[in-house]
Structure 1
Amino acid sequence: MSAAMLTADWFLLGRELYYRKFEIYSMAWHQEINLENYIASSASYGGPIAIRRDDQKFVKVQGTGQPIISIFSGSGKQIASFKWTRRPIVYMGWSNDEKLICVQEDGMVVIHDMFGKYLHTFAISQKVQDAKVIDAKIFISPQNFTGIAVMTSNFKIFLVHNIQEPKTRQLSELPRSSMQPTCWSVISEESTEVLIARGLELYRLKQDEHLTSAMLEPDITNKYTSILEMAVSLNARHLALCGNEAVVLYWERDSTLLVVGKYGQKMLYSYDGTVHLVPEIDGVRIVSNTQHELLQKVPEVVQKIFRINSTDPGSFLLEASKQFQKGSHKANEYICLVKNDLQTAVNQCIEAVGYEFDTEVQKMLIRAAQFGKCFVADMRSDSYVYMCRLLRVLNAVRDPKVGIPLTVTQYPFFLKPLYVKLKCMKKKEQGLLDRLITRNNYYLALQIAKYLKMPEKEGSSHILVHWAKYKVSQSQLEEETVAREIAEKLGYTSGISYSEIASTASEYGRKN
C-alpha cells in the first residue's frame, strides 16, 4: 500500500496540521432510515444511536402515528424499537452508562435501557412543571455523574447533577429583556455553569438563583450580529469541536459540512442527505444515511510515519519491512539509515498501529515493529504484546455485528473508573465487559475475559452471573428450562453469586 493511498483521506488545515475523514461502517439501516425526517442522538465513545421522528417534518406514517423511538448500534444494526406513549419529548440523549434519557415538556425525565425497557422516572421541579420545558442538555458532572439542565419557557435554567439521585438547583437568572436566548451550553469543569447567548450578549449563569448573571465579552474580532451556536462540550447537532484546533459546522439546508481550522483554513464536504454529528474527545463522528465516518486530527506519530517524504525513523523502518516482504536487498539499506534510532522506530510503529481502523494497515505496522525488534538487542516486548492484545479487543468490539467504533484514544476514557456505592473502582477491562454485558453480548465478553486472562471473579464469573440474571428475567421461558440451562452453564464455576441470581428471579416472580 503506497504512501499516497494511505494519506488519500488527509487534508491540511494550516501548516503541518493534518486532519482525516474515513469510513468506519457502511450503515445497515441505509434502505430504511432517512435522517432528514428524524432527530438522532448518539452516546459518546461509540455508543448506540437513538432516533425519533421529527415532529416538525411532515412524513407519511403507517399505523396509529404514535411516536416510535428506535435504537441502533454504531453500524446501523437495530437493537430495539418501542412506542412513546407519554408526553411530548423536548430532548433525548444518553447517560454515561448508556441509558436513554428523555426529557418531556412537563419536566418529567424518563429513563430506558438501550433495549427500550423502562427503568424509572423523576420530576425535575414543580417550578419546571408549571413553566414548561422548551430545551434541555445532558452533561457529565465533574464527579462523573450524568446530569441534566433544562430551560423553561420563561428562560430559567434548572440543573440536576446526578440522575441517579436527582436534586434540582436553579441557576442565576438573565437580566430582563424582550429578546429571547439564541443558544446556550453547559460547562462542567470544577463546577457546573451555563453559558447563554442573547443576540450579541453572552452571559454566565452560576449555581445561585439569587445572584445576577455575569455578562461576558466574547473575544471575537469580526463584527457579528448574533451568537447562534456554541460548542463547549460533547453535545452538538450543527456545530462541534474537533479536538482543540478545529470546529465542524453543518448546514442542514444544503447538506454541507465545513471544517474550519483555528487560523481560518477550511475544508468543505457535501452530502446527499442529512448528517448527524457526534463529538468525541478525539474527533467528530459523522452519521449519515449510508455511512458512519470519523473526522479527526491525524495523530502526530501517524503523520511521522506516513507523511510523504518523511524522514522519521518509523517511516524508514516501515519501508524496510515492506522491502523485506518483497525479498529486496533495499531492506538492508533502509535499516542502515535508521540503525541508530531503531528502538524509536519500533516504538513509533507500535504507537501508530493503535490509531488505525484498517486491519491491513494494522498488520503492516505490526510487521514493521516485529521486523525492527529483531535488530534491537534486549528490547522489551511489553508494549508490543500489549498493543497486539489491545488491537484484538478493539477490532472485536468494532466488528459491525457489535458496532462499537471505539478508538485507542477513547479507550482509557471509555473505561474511566466509575465510582459505585461501595467506593470501589472497576478495572479498565471490566468496564468494557460491562458495556458488552449491557448489550447482552455475553459470549464476546467471555472470550475477551479469557483472552485477557482476567481473574474469574472479575471476568467469567461476573459475566455468567449477569447472563443468569438475564435468563431468569425472560418470563416467556419455562422455569425448569431456565434452571437446567443455568446449572449446565455455571456448573462449579467459582465466584458465582447465586444469591444475586435468586434475588433477580424473585423479582420476576420465579419462586422456585
Structure 2
Amino acid sequence: MERPSWTIIFVPVVGIRLRLADCYANTVAVGVAVTTMSTGDWQLLYERYYRRRHLYDMAWPRPVQLSAASRLVFFEAASFGGPFAYLNLSGPKARPEMQIYTSSGILISSFSWKHANLLKMGWSNDQSLVCVNNDGRVFVFSIHGDLITQFTLGKEASTHGLCDCCITGDCIVAVTDTTFELIYFHGIGNPVRMPLAQPDLHREPPSSMVVVPGNGSPFGVSPSFDALNSPPSSPTGAPPSGIIVIVGTQSGTIIKVEESSAEDQMLSGGPFVQMALSPDGTRLACFGASGTLHCLTSDFKRNIFEFGTTSAQAPLQMAWCTNHAVVLTFEHHILLVGELGYNFVSLPYDTPTRIAPEIDGVRIVTASTCEFLEQVPKSTESLFTIGSIAPGAMLYDAAEALEKRIPNADENIRTIIADPSVVKEAIQTCLHAAQREFDVRLQKRLLKAASIGKLFFDTSDNADGPDHDLDPDLIRNVVQTLRMLNTLRSEGSIAIPLTFDQLEALTPSVLIDRLLQRNQHVLCLKICEALNLDSKRVLLHWAIAKVNQSRSDVVSTQHEEVQLARLIVKRLSIVPSMSLAPIATAAFRAHRPVLAITLCDNEKRPSAQVPLLISMNEEERALDKAIASGDTDLIFLCLQHLRRSRSHSALFSMLQTRPLAQSLLIEYARQSGQMDLLKNALYALQMTRPAANLAVQQAYKQEHLTERLKGLQLAAQFYYQDKRDPFWGTSADDQIKLLQVQSRLEAESATATPLVDRSVSETIDAFLAEGKVTQASKLQQMFKVPAKRFWHIQVQVYARTMQWAALYALVDGRKTPPIGFAPFVEACIANGNLDEAVRYVALLPDTADRMEWLCNMGRWKDAVQVAVATHDLDALRTIQSNCAEPDVLEIVEKAIKRLS
C-alpha cells in the first residue's frame, strides 16, 4: 500500500500543566503528526509514547569500532542488560582480542581470538558466549573468557562450510554453503542434533533467517507489558508451539520450516534482507530489498502494515521496541516506525550505533553513550501527561504540594478518598511508575506520593471492604526491588541496566545466577536477604570461587590450606544444612588435597563424605568414616571400590583391624555366591576353620574327583593351621585317602556298586555284600575301623543279603563275639528269619534275655521249655497271661502244677 508523505512540525509547549485538549490545540500538523509534550524526551507514535533514556557514558578502555557495515567487526549484546562481546578482525593486530564489556563499557575480560573465519556470535540462555565458525566449529566461552566447551555442527558443516547462522537462546540453526541445507542443534552445554525439514532454496543462499523458539519468544518469555491501564493488543497470530525457522528466499518469498514440513508462504515484496521477531513472538518485521518494511503476524495469516522508507540501502540492524514499534538502524540515524506504519521518528547519531533488543525496549550503544529506547508505561503517561486528572496524577500533585507546604494542599486527596478503590488505583499507579523509572529522585517522589495515599487509605472508613484490600507490604516490596535495581544499574563493575519488566521476566533466581558468574557474592547475598531467597547456592559459589581464586603458582603450605578451610567452614556455618562436598571436590580438582580433605572432614553427611573421599583416593579414610556412620551401604561402597583398586592382600590387611567391615565382606561374598572371594577372605583374616569348611563345600561341588581332591587338600591345610584342634585336619586327610582308595578299588575290583563318595562303613558294606571279605578286612585295617563296628557291619550285611551260613560262621565254635549275640538276633528278626533268630537266642547267656526275646517273637513253646528247664514259675505265669494258644496254655498249666 502507498504511504502518504507526512510533514512533521514540532511546537514547544510552555512548562505549565494544561489539559490534554489544550496541548493538542497548540500542536500544528498536516495529517497525523508526532507531538512533543512538555516532557520533552517523549515521542508520540500512534497513541503510544516513546522515550530515550540515557544510561551510561561509555568507559571504553580502548577505541571501539561499532560500524555494523563491516563484516570484520562483531558485536553482540546479551539480553536483560547483559554484557557486550566485541571482536574487531579488521585491526592491525596479528592476534585480535575478544573483549567482553559491561553496558557502561568497562572491560570484564579479554582473550586472544585464535580461530579464523568467525561467522556469528551470540549469547546462550545462561549467558555463555557462543561463537560459530564458517567451518562448522562452535566455541562456547564463559563471561570471563574461559573455554567451556567446543563441538562441531555435523559432518555436512565440516565438509561444505556454513553461509549463515542463527543463535537464539540454546538453539543453533545454520545453513551449509553450496548445498544450503539447514542444521539444527539444541543445547549448548550438551548439544544434540534435532530433526528439521529441508526447504527448497533452489540452490541459492537464504536472503535472511530468523528462529522462533518453542515458547514463541526470542527471549525465552512471553511478557505482558503495562498491565495497569493497558489497552487490549491488536489481534495477531498465536505463538507457535514448537521451533520454527523462518527463511527468506532469493526468489522473494518466505518458507516456514518445522520439524516435518517446509511450507512456502507465497509472499511477494522480497527478497527480504532483514527479519525480526517481536518479543512476544506474534509479529514478524521483514525489510525488503526494495526499501519497504513489511509487518505481518508470525503465522502469516495477516498483513499488519507496510512502510516505505525510500532508502536505497538496507538497514544495518532491525529489531522491535516492545511489540508495537520497529527500530531500523542506518549509518548515521535510527528510524523508529510506529505500530501501523503511519508514524515514524528519525533519531540522528554522529557515530555508528549498535542496538540490543530487549523485551521492553532497545539498548542503543555508541562510542560515547549507552541509551535505552522504550515505550512510556501507561502509569507514567497517566501521571505526567499535561492536564491529566487521573487519580494517580492527583495524588502525585497533592504529595508535591504537601512537601512545599502549599495551603489547601490536601484538597486533591480529599476529592479521591471518598472512594477507596480510587485511592487504591492512585497508589498502584504511583508504585507502578516508580518501578519503571531510573531516576532515583523521581522514584522517591513517586514512593512518597504512594505512602501518603496509603496513609489516607488506611484511615479511610471504607477501606476494610473485601474489594478494597491493599497488600500492607506492597510499598516495602517495591522499595526493596528498586534498591536492588538501582544497585545493579549503578556505574562500576556491575552496570546492568535491568528494568522492572525485565526482572519479572528473568526472575530473581536467574539474575542471581548471572551475578554469580561475575563473582558479585555480596550483592547476591543482599538480594537473597531482601527477597527472602535461599542463599545456599550463593555461599557455595563463593566458597568454590575462593578455592579457585586463592590458587597461585606458589604451593600453599599445609597451615594455609587448613586456615582457608576453617574460613570457609565458618562462613558457611550460618546455613546448618550446607554441604561441603562440592567445595571439597573443587579443591581436589584444583590439586589442593590438604584443603580438600580438611573440608571433607567437616562434612556432616556421611552419604556425601564417603563417596567424596573415595573419589580423592582416600579409601582407608572413607572406610573409617563409613564404619563410624554405621551405614552398611556406605561400607559396601567402600569395599567394592577397594576390591577394584587394591590387591587382595592389601584389602585383607586393611580389614584386619576393622571387624565390622570383615563381617560385611564375608557375608556379601557368601550371599552373592563369590566363594573364591569368601575363601580368600576367611583365610587372610585368619578364620581358618570357616575357610576350611568352605573349601570342603567347594570341593564337593566339583564333578571331577581330581578337582575334589585338590579342594580337600586345601581344606586340610586350613584345618592344620588351627593348632587348637588337629582332629579336623586328620579327618580331611582320611577323607582324601578314602576317596583315593575307593577310586582305586572301584577300578580294580569292578564292583557293581559305585564306591566313591561312600563312607568307610558303606564301602566295607559293599564289599561284604559281594562276598569280598578280604578287601573288606583290608579296608578295616587301613582306616582302623573298630572291631565292634566291623562286627556290626558284617552282621547287618549277612542278614540283609541272606548269607545265613556266613552269619553263623562268625559265632560257630567261637567265644562270645565282642558285640554279643543280641545284634545277631535283631538282624535276623529285622530281615524276617525268626527261626534263625532262635538259634542265636539260645546262645544268649542270660535266661531272662532268652525268655524276653522268645516271648517277643511269639515262640511260646520254646519259651515254656526254657522256663521249665530253669524252674521259673514267674516266667510260666507271664507266658500264661500273654499267650493265646490253647495247646501252649495246657502245657503251661501242667508245668505250673508240677513245679508248684
- 2:380 is matched with 302
Cα distance in 2 for partners of 1:162, 1:351 equals: 37
- 1:29 is matched with 60
- 2:80 is matched with 45
2:135–2:157 Cα contact (<8 Å) kept? yes
SS of alignment partner, residue 93 of structure 1:
strand
- 2:263 is matched with 214
Structure 1: stretches of 5+ with no match in the other structure: 141-145, 416-428
Cα distance in 2 for partners of 1:225, 1:134 equals: 20
Matched, 1:7 2:39: yes
- 1:202 is matched with 254
Cα distance in 2 for partners of 1:103, 1:179 equals: 21
- 1:336 is matched with 414
Cα distance in 2 for partners of 1:96, 1:2 equals: 47
Letter in 1 for 2:181: K
Letter in 1 for 2:489: R
Deviations 1:235-261 (A, max 9, x none): 996000111111000113xx2100001
- State how 1:245-394 maps to structure 2 within 5 Å: 245-252=324-331, 255-264=332-341, 265-339=343-417, 340=419, 341-377=422-458, 379-394=470-485
**Quick check: which has more Rg, 1 or 2?**
2
1:320–1:330 Cα contact (<8 Å) kept? no
Cα distance in 1 for partners of 2:74, 2:391 equals: 47
C-alpha displacement at 1:215, in angstroms? 0.8
Alpha-carbon distance change, 307 to 136 in structure 1, aligned in 2, over 3 angstroms = same
Letter in 2 for 1:186: V
C-alpha displacement at 1:277, in angstroms? 1.1
* TM-score, normalised via structure 1 length: 0.87
Matched, 1:462 2:537: yes
Deviations 1:104-150 (A, max 9, x none): 1121111110000111111121111111012211123xxxxx11111
> Which of the residues 414, 423, 428 maps onto 2:506?
414
Letter in 2 for 1:85: K
Letter in 2 for 1:8: G
Residues 158-167 or 378-387, more deviating: 378-387
1:124–1:166 Cα contact (<8 Å) kept? no
Structure having the larger proportion of residues in strand: 1
C-alpha displacement at 1:170, in angstroms? 5.0
* TM-score, normalised via structure 2 length: 0.51
- 1:423 is matched with none
Which has the higher relative contact order, 1 or 2, with Cα contacts under 8 A spaced 6 or more apart? 1
- 1:192 is matched with 243
Deviations 1:417-447 (A, max 9, x none): xxxxxxxxxxxx4332222111111121122
1:469–1:501 Cα contact (<8 Å) kept? yes
Residues 346-355 or 4-13, more deviating: 4-13
- 1:123 is matched with 152
C-alpha displacement at 1:31, in angstroms? 5.7
- 1:149 is matched with 173
2:213–2:243 Cα contact (<8 Å) kept? yes
How many residues end up aligned between the 2 structures?
Answer: 474
Letter in 2 for 1:205: V
Alpha-carbon distance change, 437 to 6 in structure 1, aligned in 2, over 3 angstroms = farther
Cα distance in 1 for partners of 2:156, 2:544 equals: 40
Residues 376-385 or 123-132, more deviating: 376-385
Alpha-carbon distance change, 482 to 157 in structure 1, aligned in 2, over 3 angstroms = farther
1:42–1:49 Cα contact (<8 Å) kept? yes
Alpha-carbon distance change, 486 to 440 in structure 1, aligned in 2, over 3 angstroms = farther
Deviations 1:325-357 (A, max 9, x none): 000024222213333322211111011111101
Letter in 1 for 2:51: R
**CA RMSD across the alignment:** 2.3
1:157–1:170 Cα contact (<8 Å) kept? no
Cα distance in 2 for partners of 1:233, 1:380 equals: 34
C-alpha displacement at 1:451, in angstroms? 3.3
Letter in 1 for 2:438: F
- 1:163 is matched with 188
Cα distance in 2 for partners of 1:176, 1:8 equals: 49
C-alpha displacement at 1:366, in angstroms? 0.3
Cα distance in 2 for partners of 1:392, 1:286 equals: 24
Letter in 2 for 1:51: Y
Structure 2: stretches of 5+ with no match in the other structure: 1-14, 18-35, 215-240, 282-314, 464-469, 595-900
Cα distance in 2 for partners of 1:155, 1:436 equals: 40
Alpha-carbon distance change, 132 to 170 in structure 1, aligned in 2, over 3 angstroms = farther
C-alpha displacement at 1:167, in angstroms? 1.5
C-alpha displacement at 1:294, in angstroms? 1.1
- 1:419 is matched with none
- State how 1:412-451 maps to structure 2 within 5 Å: 412-415=504-507, 429-451=508-530
Cα distance in 1 for partners of 2:184, 2:360 equals: 27
2:327–2:334 Cα contact (<8 Å) kept? yes
Alpha-carbon distance change, 6 to 66 in structure 1, aligned in 2, over 3 angstroms = farther
Deviations 1:356-410 (A, max 9, x none): 0111110110011011111112554222111111111111111122111111101
Cα distance in 2 for partners of 1:335, 1:176 equals: 66
Alpha-carbon distance change, 151 to 482 in structure 1, aligned in 2, over 3 angstroms = farther
C-alpha displacement at 1:483, in angstroms? 4.7
Cα distance in 2 for partners of 1:68, 1:76 equals: 16
Structure having the larger proportion of residues in helix: 2
1:11–1:19 Cα contact (<8 Å) kept? yes
1:186–1:233 Cα contact (<8 Å) kept? no
1:203–1:215 Cα contact (<8 Å) kept? yes
- 2:548 is matched with 473
Alpha-carbon distance change, 394 to 127 in structure 1, aligned in 2, over 3 angstroms = same
Cα distance in 1 for partners of 2:530, 2:38 equals: 31
Letter in 1 for 2:481: L
Q: Percent identical across equivalent pairs?
A: 30
2:166–2:209 Cα contact (<8 Å) kept? no
Cα distance in 2 for partners of 1:467, 1:177 equals: 55
SS of alignment partner, residue 293 of structure 1:
strand
Alpha-carbon distance change, 392 to 268 in structure 1, aligned in 2, over 3 angstroms = same
Residues 124-133 or 441-450, more deviating: 441-450
Matched, 1:507 2:589: yes
Matched, 1:403 2:495: yes
Letter in 1 for 2:587: A
SS of alignment partner, residue 375 of structure 1:
helix
